[in-house]
Amino acid sequence: MANANKMRTLSIVSDLRTSRARLLEMFTDTTCDPEIMKNATDTYFSLLQGFIASLDGTKQENKLRFMQNFKWTDTLQGNTPSAQQDAIFELVSMAFNVAIWHAKFASRLAGKENVTEVEAKDVHRSLKFAAGIFKHLKEVYIPRLITPAEKGRDLDPRVMDTYMVQCKAEAQEVTIARVIELKHNATLIAALAFETANFYQKADHTLNTLEPECSSKWRNYLQLKQHFYMAYAYCYHGQTLLASDKCGESIKSLQEAEKCYSRAEALCKEYRQTKGPGSTAKPSEQLFFTTLGGLIKITLQKCERENGFIYFHKVPAEVPQLELKASYGLAEPISFEFPAVSEQCTPEVYTTFDLTKGAKAEKAKPKQEEEVKPMKEPDLKPQKDTGCVIS
């Protein structure tokens, strides 16, 4: 019986190593889809949970949790890794990358020509699913780390929060595109745009205490998106005001839309010129960006023309308040939970692990000169630039 349990122990270790390697391969496999990714993550995480969850029926810490040292690089910190001898660090780091994969899958799918309704729903779902992973990690697992995440690292709660809010904002962009396509009323469009702008503003403010060299480029992107969607909100709010015979206020709202749009254009140039981690989108060259500029101009001209012929309203000095709250279409993270412990990980097998054969304790912080080579991602050129980039 003892020999059988030892064989199962060796099998678990082998399966853990194999499933981890497979999951890492999935991150760069262009044929991978959410279903394949789920199967790969469930297999690895269920085995890894055997090194984290209590298997002996008590609430004591799993003795295998601190057996192995893990190293991961970060999205904002180059190739110098952070390391912890903690299976929860591995669990959170791997899950973080799964969330990034879902966000990138959504961006790649949105970059296709002639995106179908089904594909748009997949984009929407993938972004909300990524947001759910970030939320779960931040609330449940990051607090369990023995060594808190270093400032500016991926597991820094501020970085995690920013990714989560940005995913929600980009999911709402899909909703906005849909309601415009279906010609829903201007009030709903304005409210959704206003909520989306607020999401981008919140994400930007979350990063304001990080070092500029690693956050400036990201913040420029968030700021240009905030001003762009404020321009959207003021533009469609102006249409609502005109429909309510408030032509003077409508003109003022459209003028504010012009200012926000101009600010977004300026931030696009600043964003392209700012050095920092991550790829660079070109929002100002996209159809949805240039289309809004034309819409604001045409709508403002119409309001001014109507005011000169019909209303003769005075244009107020104060910009109309955007007291908008969307009742529909708001993106919420999809709830995420790790899979249960694998059936292979039994209490009997658990007792046969020999900790003396585990990795020797290493310092959690690696030497400065030590680097981990990043995984080479496929150079995928989207058929069109979506402007939605999580990197």
User: Does pLDDT of 275 surpass 90?
Assistant: no
User: Does pLDDT of 228 surpass 50?
Assistant: yes
Mean pLDDT over 288-294 rounds to: 90
Residues 6+ apart with CB under 8 A from 60: 54
pLDDT value of position 366 = 47
Mean pLDDT over 356-363 rounds to: 52
Running DSSP on this structure, what letter comes out for residue 307?
I
pLDDT value of position 367 = 46
User: Does pLDDT of 134 surpass 60?
Assistant: yes
pLDDT value of position 377 = 61
Tokens of 142: 């990051």
Q: For 252-261, how does the pLDDT look when each residue is reduced to its tens digit (9 = 90+)?
A: 999 999 999 9
Position of tokens 């020509």?
A: 113
Tokens of 173: 């962009």
pLDDT value of position 235 = 97
Quick one: pLDDT band at residue 387, thresholds 50, 70, 90? very low
pLDDT value of position 46 = 97
User: Does pLDDT of 328 surpass 80?
Assistant: no
Mean pLDDT over 240-268 rounds to: 96
User: Does pLDDT of 216 surpass 80?
Assistant: yes
Dmax (CA) for the chain in angstroms is 94
CA distance 91 to 16: 12
Mean pLDDT over 196-225 rounds to: 94
pLDDT value of position 280 = 72
Mean pLDDT over 202-230 rounds to: 94
pLDDT value of position 114 = 86
Position of tokens 């940005």?
A: 166
The region of weakest confidence among 21-30, 76-85, 95-104, 222-231 is 76-85
pLDDT value of position 376 = 63
CA distance 195 to 269: 25
pLDDT value of position 77 = 86
pLDDT value of position 229 = 97
Residue 198: how many CB atoms within 10 A of its CB? 18
Tokens of 285: 């060259």
pLDDT value of position 329 = 74
Strands (E) in 262-303, as ranges, are none
Residue pair 264/362 in contact (Cβ under 8 Å)? The answer is no
Quick one: pLDDT band at residue 364, thresholds 50, 70, 90? very low
